[in-house]
Amino acid sequence: MIDGDAYSAHAPLRVLYIHHAAAFGGASRSLMEMIAAFSAGQVAAHVITPRGPVACMFRRSGAQVLETRGIAQFDCTRYGHYRGLRWLILLRELCYLPYTLLVLLRARERWPGIDLVHVNDTTQAACIALSGRLFRAPLVVHARALLAGSATPRRTRWLGNLLRRRADAVIAIDENVRATLPADVESIVIHNGFAPGLGARSIPASAIAGLSPTSLKIAMVGSLSAMKGAYEFVEAARLLLGRGLEIDFILVGDDIRPVRGALGWLLRRMGLARPVREELERTIDAHGLRRHVHLLGFTIDIKAIYDAIDLLCFPSHLDAPGRPVFEAALSGVPSIVAVSNPKPDTLVPGATAVCIPARNVAALASAIEQLYHDRAALKRMGESARALALRNFDIRRNAAEMLALYRRLTERCRARVRS
């Protein structure tokens, strides 16, 4: 491992980051935390991103930001790949293509001398194809989600060919993601990290302080969506509270985007959007769960949540552990995760987490109930989870590894120019 301070003699690298989502989420948080963890003076961050909360947060963090109406994507991930009515989403992405090209050209004019381009997800096919050539700089592509693989073999092969031709380095966030990349795409794993103080603003004190001191406290952290398993989580709460267990169920997050008006009605009718929070609220009220099921909404200060809970649930349909699993582990909190083939760099079944099948309320409720009655096992798993997270998800060590990669790529590029 090469420490970022080893490069203190170098001028700051001018890195262009291209981020695809306007709403704050795991990918944007991971990128912000990595940039913040670079040693002072090592990287001058320039960011292209859609208009919205993420653009404001990047700007507040000190990065130079260019906003655009949208970044064109081509979704080849396991959950989001196009099928059925989801092909209509591709029409939106085609509409975003001119904006994508325009903002890249504006960035080239405004920020001459970019040393390296970092595309923040494999879904940004247009940016992968164009940005390295437009800026005549090395291109790093971050792989953050499981690819669809056998579900979309031709699309996955096409993406693999694009990555081989255009990317100078492909970075997978963990071995789960790396395993879904095409076998002929060379990649390395650089894990995410967690910086608890990023833009911290406290959650309402009463949200945590008002809970029973003797209850088992279980949380889901992330956007409220069907794919994250929010409905299964609330249904498991209904079953377990009906059995008289003293548990507080906490959902931290909000709808991915508002579903309102005529467009919202149309998207709901087509099955492309759901008012998840509204539906969960109705379920909670219909079954009298309000006292023990708490929807806290969005907060950046999630460390306060992890420090207050005993167990994290990540019952997503994505068949992979997400950021909350290692974030909670750094606070000594184990997880229940819906994953079929976990890799040991993120969790160890039975030692740091309990693995269950996706979309299985009975399995989720059973795993919670087992740990409810075995607090000693819960504590042991939390200690093991923290040890694993400290080994693999230290933000400064992982940022230093990324910076070392940046330096190698830019120095190789400069050597080619000199020769």
Q: How many CB atoms lie within 10 A of CB 106?
A: 13
Which structural domains are found in the chain, ordered by start? 7-193+394-418 (3.40.50.2000), 205-392 (3.40.50.2000)
Distances (CA, A) of 284 to 100, 291, 293: 42, 9, 7
CA-based nearest residue to 32, from 13, 1, 68, 56: 56
The contacts of residue 311 (CB under 8 Å, 6+ apart) are: 216, 217, 218, 219, 333, 334, 335, 336, 368, 371, 378
**What are 279-301's pLDDT values in tens digits?**
999 999 999 999 999 999 888 78
Helix or strand or coil: residue 54?
A: helix
The contacts of residue 359 (CB under 8 Å, 6+ apart) are: 229, 232, 317, 338
One-letter identity of residue 416: R
Helix or strand or coil: residue 72?
A: coil
- In this prediction, residue 23 carries a pLDDT of 85
CA-based nearest residue to 115, from 412, 402, 418: 412
One-letter identity of residue 50: P
DSSP state of 308: T
Cα radius of gyration (the chain): 22
pLDDT tens for the chain, residues 1 to 419: 334 444 444 689 999 999 999 988 889 999 999 999 998 899 999 999 999 999 999 999 999 999 999 999 999 999 889 998 889 889 999 999 999 999 999 999 999 999 999 999 999 999 999 998 899 999 999 999 999 999 999 999 999 999 999 999 999 999 999 999 999 999 999 999 988 765 444 555 456 767 888 999 999 998 888 989 999 999 999 999 999 999 999 999 887 765 555 555 555 555 556 789 999 999 999 999 999 999 998 887 888 899 999 999 999 998 999 999 999 999 999 999 999 999 999 999 999 999 999 999 999 999 999 999 999 999 999 999 999 999 999 999 999 999 999 999 999 988 887 77
The strand pairing partners of 251, in sequence order, are: 220, 295
The CA distance from 367 to 128, in Å, is 42
